[in-house]
Each structure stands twice: as C-alpha cells, then as structure tokens.
Amino acid sequence: MKVVLAFDKFKGSVTASELNDAARSALGSVQGVEVACVPVADGGDGTTAVLAASRPGQWMTVPTMGPLLQQEPVTASYYLCDDATAIIELAAASGLAVVATETRDVMRATTLGTGMLMRDAMERGSRHIVLGLGGSATCDAGMGIMSALGAEFHDAAGHYLYPSGQSLEQISHIETMGIPPAVQECRFTLLTDVDTPLCGQLGTARIFAPQKGATPEQVERLERGMTRVAAIVGDEIAGRPGCGAAGGVPAMMMHLLHCELLPGAEYVLANNGLDEALAGADLVITGEGKLDEQTLMGKGPGCVIGKAVERGIPVAAVCGTIDSDFDPAAAGLASAIAVSDGLPLDEAMHPAATLMRVSQAVVQVVNQAH
C-alpha cells in the first residue's frame, strides 16, 4: 500500500515538514506500507522551506528592517538556489509575526525590509526571485519593496513620500530613474494564497486591513489609497484576482517590473514532486490547522484534494479543527479527523503534543484503509 503524506503547516504550532516527518516515522510501525512525503505550502509562511527542500542551494541570513521604522532591526533568511533563483517570504521581514500585537500599525507598516532582502539576493547574482506573499503586516501596495529597489514616490508638490499605507492616496508621481539595470533585468514570480483584488468591497483594505489592526476609519483611508493606486497601475492589474495579496504588493511590482502572479499552492505542488508521488498511490493524507471554506479556495490541502480526486485516489484529512460549515464528504474527502477539537488553546497549539496526536491519527487512518 502506497501512502502519500501531503501536510501543510498547522499555523503557529508545527511546520509542514515536521508534520510529514512525524507521520512518516509513525507509519514505520505499520507493515506493508510505502510512504512518500510531499510537504505543502501556498505562498504563505513556510513556503520557502517547502520549496528549498527540493532544490540545491543555501540559506542566506541577513540584517534588514521590520514592518515598522521605529522597531529594532530584524534578521531574516531567504533561500538562494544553486541556479541563482532566490526564494523569499514577505512574512520573513514584513510579516505579522515580526511585530508585537500591541505595536501593530498598518498605516505606517512598510515592505521596505522585504525589498532589502530582494536587493541582497540580486547583489548575489539572482535574476529570478520567487516571492511568497502570505502573512504580511502591511498594506502599502508594494511601495516599500519598490522603494528598496530604487523607485521614489512623490506627492503633488514633489515631496518624497515614505512608503506606507498612509501615503498611498497622496501618490502623484513615481520616479523610476533610480531603479538599477539589475532590477529591471530580474524576473519576479509572485505567489499568492488569496484571490483578492486591489479595491472594492472584496478588496485588500476592506478584507484584510482589519486583521492587521486597522480601525474602520483607517480601512476607508486605505481603500482611498488603493483606489489611487488602481488609477496609476490600470484596471487590468488592479482588477486581477490576487493583486490585493499582502496589502496590494503585486500592484506596484507588476506595474514597474517583470512579474508573474501565480496561485501559490499550484506553484508549490508543481515544483515539489506531488504529481510523481501520486503515481501508484493508494491513499493520500493531507491537512492543515483548520479545515474550512478557505481550504478549497486555493489553499494547499485543497489543491492536494483536487489532484488526488482527479486520479481517483482516496483522500483523508488530519487537521487541528474542522469548521462547522465544512462538509468533508462534499469536499471529496473519504474521512477527516480533527485532533485538537475541544482542547484548551495552549494544549492545542503545543508542538510536541500536536505531532503526537497527528501521528496517532495518521496510523489510525492507514490501518482502517489497509
């Protein structure tokens, strides 16, 4: 019996690789089982590690800045492949996890630090940057990244604008003369885990800014800013699904650079060997922290389920919790186990205990299917 393990992270608790490794070890006690491990990510936290696992290269750890100018500098890592492709997560320097909850300030938060990581990669010879966009603390439409790469943003009076959400509605002119040839020559692959457009009721300001600490008044100001950005970049970019990812980062990048915007989960699964692993598989086990309606909307486990169902392979899910509105059978799952339902939060999030519960559930699923 061939079993494919394809876990995404349990956010805030354990990584995709840790889950897959623990489950594989647990299945070592089950006779007659061949195991293939394919860690999953969707452009958010953990994407770099998942992609790095299948590519030769090395981790680069460099000093940069966090989302807020007044906070202490941060040290962030990215992966430089041997073919000079750099894999970077926006969350590493500009993510919510880099800022203490009580100090979050989405109006002043910037993606400058991420741009500094990208510049470092280009200085090391990279001409292809893969950027995962999930987990951001920012809503600056990519002003920070582009500022770090040489662009300048001015208001109607010609004054320099600091790259942050509160500056968006004042943008009158973008000076691109300072963008060096190395940046212009670089190719950027942007991986998004949402299909949010730039503006509107379902746009990035109204949907995601409140999660980053924005008040209702700030949300409306950011929406005006995104509307201003949309007028600059044009409807084709602004209206594209996913352009609102990471507080609108794709907007300025696609406007000024050579960029490709792709669904993160599909890109990761196309590059981490899932198709090969599914060949001859009898069972697929996937999972993430919570199964809900978002799971089937471009998230990693949702894509795994779709690929397995297309091939007629039974799929089981082992997750932390299952939303009450989520129907496992309708999603194509043969079974679903929630290992943390009813537990206190600290126990549910405890890494070692989570790995133990997931491992036990995986063995249970395989024994039932064997």
- Provide the pLDDT for residue 4: 98
Q: How many other CB atoms are found less than 10 A from the CB of residue 246? A: 35
pLDDT band at residue 293 under the 50/70/90 scheme: confident
Q: When comparing pLDDT for 79 and 103, which is higher?
A: 79
- Provide the pLDDT for residue 71: 82
Find all residues with CB under 8 Å of 65, minimum gap 6, and list them. 71, 73, 74, 93, 112, 113, 116
Judgement on whether residues 34 and 70 belong to the same structural domain of the protein:
no
Q: How many other CB atoms are found less than 10 A from the CB of residue 311? A: 11
Taking a C-beta distance cutoff of 8 angstroms, is the pair 64, 75 a contact?
A: yes
Pick from 213, 242, 265: which residue ends a domain? 265
- Provide the pLDDT for residue 123: 96
CATH number at residue 100: 3.90.1510.10
Taking a C-beta distance cutoff of 8 angstroms, is the pair 53, 40 a contact?
A: no
Judgement on whether residues 173 and 246 belong to the same structural domain of the protein:
yes
Judgement on whether residues 130 and 242 belong to the same structural domain of the protein:
yes
Judgement on whether residues 89 and 165 belong to the same structural domain of the protein:
yes
**What CA dihedral angle connects 19, 25, 30 and 32, to 10 degrees?**
100
Average pLDDT of every residue of the chain = 95
The secondary structure of residue 124, as a DSSP letter, is T
Domain count, the chain: 2
Judgement on whether residues 75 and 163 belong to the same structural domain of the protein:
yes
Judgement on whether residues 259 and 314 belong to the same structural domain of the protein:
no
Pick from 265, 281, 306: which residue ends a domain? 265
Judgement on whether residues 192 and 304 belong to the same structural domain of the protein:
no
Q: When comparing pLDDT for 172 and 101, which is higher?
A: 172
- Cα(84)–Cα(86) distance, rounded to whole angstroms? 6
CATH number at residue 359: 3.40.50.10350
Q: How many other CB atoms are found less than 10 A from the CB of residue 204? A: 28
Cα maximum dimension of the chain:
74
Judgement on whether residues 90 and 209 belong to the same structural domain of the protein:
yes
> Cα 156 to chain center, whole Å?
35
- Cα(99)–Cα(18) distance, rounded to whole angstroms? 25
Give the domain extent around 346: 2-40+273-369
- Section 292-312 average pLDDT: 91
Judgement on whether residues 126 and 215 belong to the same structural domain of the protein:
yes
Pick from 242, 265, 288: which residue ends a domain? 265
Calculate what percentage of the chain has a pLDDT beyond 70: 100
Find all residues with CB under 8 Å of 229, minimum gap 6, and list them. 141, 168, 171, 198, 238, 248, 251, 252
- Section 29-46 average pLDDT: 92
Tokens of 35: 């195991």
pLDDT above 90: residue 129: yes
- Provide the pLDDT for residue 12: 86
pLDDT above 90: residue 275: yes
Judgement on whether residues 212 and 65 belong to the same structural domain of the protein:
yes
The angle at the Cα of 115, spanning 270 to 90, to the nearest 5 degrees, equals 45
Judgement on whether residues 88 and 36 belong to the same structural domain of the protein:
no
Judgement on whether residues 141 and 277 belong to the same structural domain of the protein:
no
